[in-house]
Structure 1
Amino acid sequence: MAVNEERDSVRIDIERLESSIKDMMSHDSLTSPKCCIFKTPAILYRHNEKAFIPNAFSIGPLHHGCPNLKATEKIKAKYLQGLISRSGSLDTILKTLISSIMEVEKDARECYADAIDYSPEELVKILVIDGCFLIELFLKKTYLSLREEHDPIFSKSYMRQFLSHDLILLENQLPWMVLEILFDLTKDSYDENPLIILAMNFFDDTYLSYRMPPSNQVINIEDIEHFVDLFRKLSTLSSTDSHPVQSINFECIKHFVDLFRKLSTLSSTLFRKVKTSSNILLGISTIEESQETPCGWEFVPSATSLVESGVKFKRSTSQSILDVKFNDGVLEIPPFQIHEVTETVFRNLISYEQCHSYRCDRITSYAILLASLINTAKDVDILCDNKIIDNWLNPDDAAQLFNKLYLDAYVYYRYTDLSRQVNSFCQRRWPRWRRALVRNYFNTPWAILSTLAAVILLILTLVQTVYAVKK
């Protein structure tokens, strides 16, 4: 009797376990296909936590309510009031904004990879306040007449520094479609610039390259998801492509990160996809991610080693920072700036590429290339002397920045052909001899003087010997 009862107990447990597993399998996929705003993976987060956490402003639901960010909620409310007060009756326009965002609340929620622990009403409130704050912020940056004498942001330099950091964080984003809806509903008659141009104007001093892309290239950008994607596209928009305005669906922008990312993919350089047995999967791929050529990858030598081998550096005129080219011993690199926010920009762009499905690893590959070129402060100085880098940091700090950026990233490396061309040039007989000569005899001023003295002494000895023979 006892044995039968035990068997019945076991059978009941199995049935309960079976029901539990079936329940798990019946759930939808972990993330929506629409998701484009992610929390940074722990494996990347651990390298520099400060590069992923907002300092003063929470944008969107992921960091909303954090104690250290509550002080700026009053600023966002003030900016909201200023924006809607110019758009008609305050009560009427506010109701319109709320009802419009409520209609897309479900779609906006699905843009976040992690579950949002806010009710629909709470999420709509966050989206409306934060979205209107960003729009008013961009308008005040472009139109000076909108700024008050004691504006809480533009009258304080440290606030701009906070925003330069906080608005490019992958976790601190609003879906681009939300911003577009709010912008269209609050746009004044004198607002001639589209939202994307206003955003560019605000981020011009956070930009990775020197020159802002032409507006006719920018306004045709499509499929933008958020600020980080916007930043990625802006950072590498190509001016050398045979089609100046590439076809990207502007209506499908997701948020700022997505817009930056899309601009960065508009490179004139075509890549081929390759395989490698490295523990970090490195290769190169085409824009269409098609043809596959199985081969390995290799780093390029540092800037110092390249100079010793006779390689010359040239500042490229390309709009895309990705358009690095090598031809006849000349390495052309588009210019870019290094400042306090550069590491934050790169880390969030790399995190976005690592998290998003079907995203090519252009920025990550670029970071690997820079890490190869820049190992020491001397490498930074060489690139600065050639007008490629505008460095606002200590040279040692700049060198360390790039050496750590791509750690723990899984990437198809996109500069394999370039690396092979450079290494092939450096392995030729004369560059090898030149490199050895420079390192052994011309690496310091004293070595140069000693070498010159030895050469002069040798010449005098030969002259003396010839004279003695003739005599």
Structure 2
Amino acid sequence: MCLEKLKMLREEPSPETRLQICDGNEEELHFMSIREKENFRYFRALKKSSNDDSVPAQSSKSKPLIQRVPFTLSEKKNFKKYFEPRVVAIGPLHHGNRRLQPAEKAKLKLSVLFTEEHRVAEHVLYKKIKQDIGYLKECYKPEDIEDYDDEELAWMFFVDGCAVLKAIHYSTKSEQEKQKDELNIKVDILAFAQVDLFMLENQLPFRVLELLINSVHDAKDLRESIDVFIDNKIKRTIAEGKKGKPRQDQDHTHLLGLLRERLLAKTNNKNESTKTIIGKLLLSCGPKQQQCHKTFRSINELKEAGIRVTPSETSSLRDVNFYVGFLGTLKIPRIVVDDSTGSKFMNLVAYEMCPDFKNDFAVTSYLCFLDTLIDTAQDVKELRHAGMLLNYLGSDQEVADLFNNITTDLVPDLEMYHDATDKIREYCDNPWTTCIAKAYYTHFSTPWSFLGFLGVLMGLLFTAIQAYYSMRKATMGQR
């Protein structure tokens, strides 16, 4: 097979072996140097492998592969902390890390508690994993698991899968239930472990969790605990709002993939950028054509243009809309920023960048859009005061730096929010909306400015009345 021959080429085969790589007319290459011949043979190998019907296509269920973080992200020193597990290794990619060895006992203890809680024999669960090991291995690149045989992988999946399910189930219990089910594991380890569960290189195939869940009697309870766990994670990312549900027939890849699906799932609400009658009237009064459109850079600039920010109805990152009325209204989901925000979003971005994952880069596009709104600490302050951003990270400057840094070199899908951004630009281009916005923010944006404006207006009214009666009195005196 050509794919096998390509592997031979990558492993620097001998000159005799190179002559066997891929079929081709060697007479056509007789006038070329050895390097040129190798280049053409490699090119033909790729060409043949891409058209070879005998090469079986990878099962769609195993796509995308659980891969390592793309080099364009992992090579950045400031980003390494987002991708390296802090306390626990899940799966084979970080299994041999000595720094994470202390958590191995905790994982084994959680696995024992899982089997005891659900009254299932450990060898039954292990057998389920071992029988499906061929499928599970396809979820990884061969070079990432070449150091493990089937027995080692099956045992690893068994222990890690049971530990993950036990940790998830425990975290969703009430405080009273937790006291009865004491784990005797330090709280900080559990807290960091929950962050580690959503790292790209720390994922288990969701199939492992399904095999274990289907092997216990209270499978429904375990599935519901995963849903609650993901919902809680969303609440710590995007506050409030209706939560959409992914399609029931959709195959989940891993927990990180499930989190992404839920963050992007939209409800049945119609969320399209619209113009009210007043908005259409105002925009129709503006110039019909312009050679150059204004660009918006931050929340403060939008405010100066008369645009306010309010929360969207859902927690979906796709739910970004712009409404034109007396003032412009940009609706976006409320966001929660804490110590886990950088890790969460960067691993979602890394997941979207995996070459085997065909997607629309929705999370990447959302972060880039948010970066256009947040330029300085003052923008973060405006979002906080509007109730649109909950800051549990630190100072407003730290939040601004976070989003400015994590979006460096990211490439968004410009079509994702084009409907909203086009209407924002149209609104900013119109001089009428700008004048109305300045008048509003000068006289009506706060109660004090409104009272001041009302006082001036009443003063002018009394002055006019006084002048009227003075003139009338003078006229009567002349008579």
TM-score after normalising by structure 1: 0.71
Question: Judging changes above 3 Å, is the alpha-carbon distance between structure 1 residues 297 and 238 closer, same or farther for their aligned structure 2 residues?
Answer: farther
Contact 1:79 1:137 in 2 (8 A): yes
Cα deviation code 1:194-215 (max 9, x no counterpart): 52x3123234443222248669
Question: Judging changes above 3 Å, is the alpha-carbon distance between structure 1 residues 53 and 211 closer, same or farther for their aligned structure 2 residues?
Answer: same
Residue matched to 1:74: 105
Which segment drifts farther, 357-366 or 398-407?
Answer: 398-407
Contact 2:297 2:375 in 1 (8 A): no
Structure 1 residue 399 and structure 2 residue 430: aligned? no
Contact 1:32 1:111 in 2 (8 A): no
Question: Judging changes above 3 Å, is the alpha-carbon distance between structure 1 residues 297 and 169 closer, same or farther for their aligned structure 2 residues?
Answer: farther
Structure 1 residue 38 and structure 2 residue 38: aligned? no
Residue matched to 2:123: 95
Residue matched to 2:79: 48
**Percent of aligned positions that are identical:** 26
Question: Judging changes above 3 Å, is the alpha-carbon distance between structure 1 residues 202 and 147 closer, same or farther for their aligned structure 2 residues?
Answer: farther
Structure 1 residue 350 and structure 2 residue 349: aligned? yes
Contact 1:60 1:130 in 2 (8 A): yes
Residue matched to 1:64: 95
Structure 1 residue 199 and structure 2 residue 226: aligned? yes
1:62-461 aligned at under 5 Å gives the runs: 62-88=93-119, 93-113=121-141, 115-116=144-145, 117-143=147-173, 145=177, 150-153=182-185, 156-185=186-215, 187-189=216-218, 192-195=220-223, 197-207=224-234, 208-211=237-240, 217=245, 220=248, 222-241=250-269, 300-328=296-324, 329-355=328-354, 356-393=356-393, 394-413=395-414, 414-433=416-435
Contact 1:240 1:318 in 2 (8 A): no
Distance 1:431 1:344 in 2: 40
Distance 1:53 1:297 in 2: 43
The number of residue pairs the alignment matches comes to 383
Distance 2:329 2:254 in 1: 37
Distance 1:325 1:167 in 2: 32
Contact 1:142 1:201 in 2 (8 A): yes
Shift of 1:311: 0.8
Shift of 1:139: 2.0
Amino acid at match of 1:173: Q
Distance 1:354 1:69 in 2: 26
Contact 1:213 1:319 in 2 (8 A): yes
The 3-state SS of whatever aligns with 2:202 is: coil
Distance 2:205 2:378 in 1: 42
Amino acid at match of 2:337: I
Amino acid at match of 2:95: H
Contact 1:60 1:126 in 2 (8 A): yes
Shift of 1:377: 1.5
Distance 1:182 1:212 in 2: 32
Distance 1:269 1:174 in 2: 37
Distance 2:293 2:208 in 1: 42
Shift of 1:299: 6.0
Distance 1:214 1:105 in 2: 35
Amino acid at match of 2:225: L
Distance 2:123 2:405 in 1: 48
Distance 2:167 2:373 in 1: 38
Distance 2:329 2:131 in 1: 55
Which segment drifts farther, 55-64 or 336-345?
Answer: 336-345
Which segment drifts farther, 337-346 or 403-412?
Answer: 403-412
The 3-state SS of whatever aligns with 2:369 is: helix
Note the aligned Cα RMSD (angstroms): 3.7
TM-score after normalising by structure 2: 0.70
Amino acid at match of 1:372: T
Contact 1:297 1:416 in 2 (8 A): no
Question: Judging changes above 3 Å, is the alpha-carbon distance between structure 1 residues 221 and 53 closer, same or farther for their aligned structure 2 residues?
Answer: farther
Shift of 1:42: 1.7
Question: Judging changes above 3 Å, is the alpha-carbon distance between structure 1 residues 181 and 438 closer, same or farther for their aligned structure 2 residues?
Answer: same
Contact 1:100 1:181 in 2 (8 A): yes
In proportion to residue count, which structure has more helix?
2
Cα deviation code 1:36-73 (max 9, x no counterpart): 31111121121410101100011100000201111011
The 3-state SS of whatever aligns with 2:209 is: helix
Q: Structure 1 unaligned segments of length 5 or more: list them.
A: 1-12, 243-267, 271-295, 443-447
Amino acid at match of 2:184: P
Contact 1:204 1:212 in 2 (8 A): no
Distance 1:122 1:210 in 2: 41
Distance 1:406 1:431 in 2: 31
Distance 1:213 1:313 in 2: 18
Amino acid at match of 2:251: D
Contact 1:82 1:136 in 2 (8 A): yes
